[in-house]
Structure 1
Amino acid sequence: MDTSSDCPWRLVVSDMDGTLVTGTTACTHLGAWIGHAAIEDLEERFVRGGISDREVAEDYAPFYKGIALADAVEVMSRISSIDDIGLGVAMLRQRSVEAFIATVSWSFAARALADLWGFSQVCGADLELARASGLFTGRVSRHFEPEEKVAFVAEHCRRAGIGMEQVVAIGDGRSDLPLFKAVGFSVALNASSDARAAASIAVEEASFLAALHAVPDLLG
């Protein structure tokens, strides 16, 4: 039965690291595979506020030089994640609600997980790829800041003819705060105190479905 007509929401945007991915981050997971532990120090400094997303990307991008995108995508399929993600996305689709991943981490990592779980679009920092060889060059082709999550979602809403008030954001940390402020409803999932304070509701569950069920009238 089509129940989309009574659903006030049209888009769910989820963060990746700390939200869908648990116990690690995409960069740490990939770094362990590449064989460089330097990213752990970079990410600890980022969490403490001592380094920006841009600096993390610039410092770590060279380690990817010569790595094949296809191999990195396969590694991403083995990352630790919360439960029920694919099921949750499928249930959203039944309600005619799109699902995106928005991250300040690598967009290729988000795209790998989006393809795995059924999310339709992603945004994030772009690692330059030599198209002919399928190998990363070790350079950042585009940085991505937390405020750009808002611009990405707003542009989609403009094209789709929907309002930002029809968007749900799910996240766990400071990179999610601008989007939390811009959308109709926000869920802090296993989140920091700042994210919990900024969100419409906080959920402490290792389940994507638990976050979706916390949104009024989303899944019926």
Structure 2
Amino acid sequence: MAVFDMDSTLIDMECIDAIAAAAGCGEKVAAITERAMRGEIDFVASLTERVAALKGVHLEVLDSIRDELPVMPGVAELLNTLRERRWRTVLVSGGFTWFADELARRFNFDVVVSNYLEIDDNDCLTGTLGGRIVDAEVKADTLVQLTNQYGLPRSQVLAVGDGANDLPMLQAAGFGIAFMAKPILRDIADYCLDEKDLSRILTLLR
């Protein structure tokens, strides 16, 4: 089983920053995102603050971002090859369903877990999240739960991420890869991939 983060891992962007830029608060939100990714501030608190800044953004903005998602180089080759080899693929993201579900559709992920942006009757963001927030704990718990559900030994579970929010998930996996990652994640990863080509992971699985 291979478990992936989404923003700055499967796609070459932070979706919340792109939405914020369209809403006119891009610099403020991007600065909070960067601090959260480095592990300097609490993820849930920072996400709640950033989402609140998006209140009033129309869904057309999300649609335009979703239609132009910059998929990371090597994603298609990696995921298609994993599926050919009968790996289960999982997307667990602190990002949003609007984009995670699109990636799941394109690349046939077996499981996708992400945050839900609440929407009002005018098809605008309310500035709040629905349901349990997908944070570092939820990411790790999802990996462990699926490992047990599928009856896999820990040694057959791979996790890939880039920021502090992925740290427990990588530690719970049998093999954790830090992809173009922040120092806090590089320090605990089994392998650091510093080239923007996710297909390079395949060389580690042979």
Asked whether the two chains share a fold, i.e. TM above 0.5, the reply is: yes
Q: Residue deviations 1:48-97, cap 9 Å, x none? A: 544322222222323244632x7524412313332121222111111111
Unaligned 5+ segments in structure 1 are 1-10
Distance, in Å, in 1 between the alignment partners of 2:39 and 2:51 is 20
CA-CA distance at 1:28 after TM superposition: 0.9
The partner residue of 2:144 within 129, 133, 154 is: 154
CA-CA distance at 1:20 after TM superposition: 2.0
Per the alignment, residue 138 of structure 1 pairs with: 127
CA-CA distance at 1:185 after TM superposition: 1.0
Moved more, 55-64 or 175-184: 55-64
Q: TM-score by structure 1 length?
A: 0.79
Per the alignment, residue 202 of structure 1 pairs with: 192
In the superposition, relative to structure 1, how do residues 56 and 106 fare at CA in structure 2: closer, same or farther (>3 Å)? farther
Q: TM-score by structure 2 length?
A: 0.84
Distance, in Å, in 1 between the alignment partners of 2:38 and 2:149 is 37
CA RMSD in angstroms comes to 2.4
Structure 2 residue 34 is the aligned partner of structure 1 residue 67: no
Per the alignment, residue 107 of structure 2 pairs with: 117
Distance, in Å, in 2 between the alignment partners of 1:199 and 1:64 is 36
The partner residue of 1:180 within 156, 170, 189 is: 170
CA-CA distance at 1:18 after TM superposition: 2.3
- Secondary structure of 1:102's counterpart equals strand
Q: Residue deviations 1:86-143, cap 9 Å, x none? A: 222111111111212222222332222232333232223322245x876543321232
Per the alignment, residue 5 of structure 1 pairs with: none
Moved more, 106-115 or 42-51: 42-51
**Counterpart AA for 2:58:** I
**Counterpart AA for 1:20:** L
